[in-house]
Amino acid sequence: MAGIRGYWTLAAAAIAFRLLLLLCFPKDLHLGSRPEVATPLTSLRRLAEGYWLKQASMSPYSGSMYHGSPLLLSFLGQLTIRRVEGRPPHFYCSLMFVVVDFITAILIRATGQKLLLSRHKSFQVLNLSKLVEASGTVNPGDFASLVYLWNPLTIVTCMGSSTSPVDNLMVVMAIYGACSRIAPLAAFGWVFATHLSLYPIILIVPVILLLGYGLDAPPSKLFLHKTSDASSSGALNQSPDKSGASKLTDNTIHTFSWVQVLHFVLWVFIWLCYVLLLSSISLEDVGGLSEMFRKTYGFILTVEDLSPNIGVLWYFFAEVFDFFRNFFLIVFHVNILFMILPLAIRLKHRSCFLAFVYIAISSMLKSYPSVGDSALYLGLLALFCNELADMHFSFFLFCGYIGVSLLSPVMHNLWIWRGTGNANFYFATGLAYACLQTVLVVESVSSMLKHDRMLRKLVKA
């Protein structure tokens, strides 16, 4: 399958557009103050404050400003205070985020190419030309990469003084490493993604499935059914080819590879020790690892900062009685965990798609969501454009995302600056945003299962 014509031209245009925005509007965008773009965990302004405290021989977690990784202070701290030729400090960070976005898009493209090759190989082994045609005509790797690069939410995040592009890169690196069955790369991406933001820890399930079983493929039941048909047909012709049936099964049904998983676990341990060691060195004499865990993971789990964002937790915990606070904290966080096992059982043959579902669910229920989370899962969703071509409510979801993106800053302005609105105005947009994400997850899962049923009918035909 040929790629999208002019892919590199479109990709270069997306990067050039970012650079043009960066050069023409170095000071006037003020996206870093938007609650939809920068959160207490990803704000570059808070990172600059943490770096200033560290330079003053104080703990970067003093007070209530910085709650991110100490490693980001070492890598981005200098860029937040550098000022050359009158350009603001965030200029150099945004310039680096442009490069990070490009690398993320290339990894998404490579992941899509591997998924496409795996599906076509499975269908061709079965000699089912109809299934090859049914898999679609759009190159998912090129399409998903361009969707990620040209998504306005991705561009806003890149320009908005937020570290979300780095988080997205680590997540995509983990998925790509798992799809390529490169255990060190998958472990590196997963460990650093979990270190920067707690929620990617649930990606351990699809990563292990990808490493164990391999790339996404139709359900093994299809191949078993085809194998049984081939065997019965051979029996009717009185010339059974048992070796051919065995070869068919071996080529289409992958056994779980514990060697790859154990290799991944070993590298997870290595990278985890490396991250903790670097963090300990970075926080030497200005705090320790216990304070880091309390101010990062503890901050995420306890929802201490109730400043407005596009999520729903800030409003809920601002209204709930303190007596019930711990109970509802458990309910909201365990709600994510309850969905892991059922989805893994039903979509274990679609491990990469399962990773997208997990990312979308965590983006909807996390403590401090941002549009950078949506930019990531919408880019991953495009990897399955052929399978989800018949998804319902696509136009409704498209218009809904545009409407929420436009209404959210308007309602925030009416509430905070003009005083003609209240918190309910802004919370309504967050509630609508959560509903849109719910519909997206439900419809995408339903469409994927419907696609698998369609393949089963083609096999039986």
- Going residue by residue through the chain (461 aa), what tens digit of pLDDT does each one get? 556 778 899 999 999 999 998 888 766 567 878 899 989 999 888 888 888 888 888 888 887 789 989 999 888 887 777 655 556 667 778 889 999 999 999 999 999 999 888 877 766 655 555 555 555 567 889 999 999 999 999 999 988 878 999 999 999 999 999 999 999 999 999 999 999 999 999 999 999 999 988 886 656 555 555 555 555 555 444 444 444 444 444 444 557 788 999 999 999 999 999 999 999 998 887 778 888 999 999 999 999 888 899 998 999 998 888 888 999 999 989 999 999 999 999 998 899 999 999 999 999 999 999 999 999 999 999 999 888 888 988 999 999 999 999 999 999 888 988 878 788 889 999 999 999 999 999 999 999 999 888 877 777 76
Residue 43 phi/psi, 5-degree rounding, is -70, 130
CA 33/CA 90 separation, integer angstroms: 13
> What's the structural domain count of the chain?
1
**Residue 19 structure tokens:** 């650079």
CA 198/CA 194 separation, integer angstroms: 5
Asked, for residue 2, whether it belongs to a domain, the answer is no
Asked, for residue 19, whether it belongs to a domain, the answer is yes
Asked, for residue 65, whether it belongs to a domain, the answer is yes
Domain that residue 126 falls in: 7-217+254-460
Within 10 A of 105 (CB to CB), how many other CB atoms are there?
A: 24
Asked, for residue 105, whether it belongs to a domain, the answer is yes
Asked, for residue 278, whether it belongs to a domain, the answer is yes
The pLDDT assigned to 254 comes to: 58
Asked, for residue 150, whether it belongs to a domain, the answer is yes
**Residue 438 structure tokens:** 């719910």
The pLDDT assigned to 78 comes to: 78
Helix axes 258-282, 70-81, angle to 10 degrees: 60
Q: Which of 364, 369, 335, 359 is nearest to 203 (CA)?
A: 359
Asked, for residue 230, whether it belongs to a domain, the answer is no
Q: Which of 242, 247, 221 is nearest to 232 (CA)?
A: 242
pTM: 0.90
CA 169/CA 171 separation, integer angstroms: 5
Q: Which amino acid is at 18?
A: R
Q: Which of 245, 249, 215, 235 is nearest to 348 (CA)?
A: 215
CA 354/CA 170 separation, integer angstroms: 17
CA 457/CA 449 separation, integer angstroms: 13
The pLDDT assigned to 245 comes to: 44
Q: Which of 94, 50, 95, 53 is nearest to 68 (CA)?
A: 50
Within 10 A of 131 (CB to CB), how many other CB atoms are there?
A: 20
Q: Which of 328, 323, 334, 357 is nearest to 442 (CA)?
A: 357
Residue that is written with structure tokens 């890598």 in the block: 75
Asked, for residue 228, whether it belongs to a domain, the answer is no
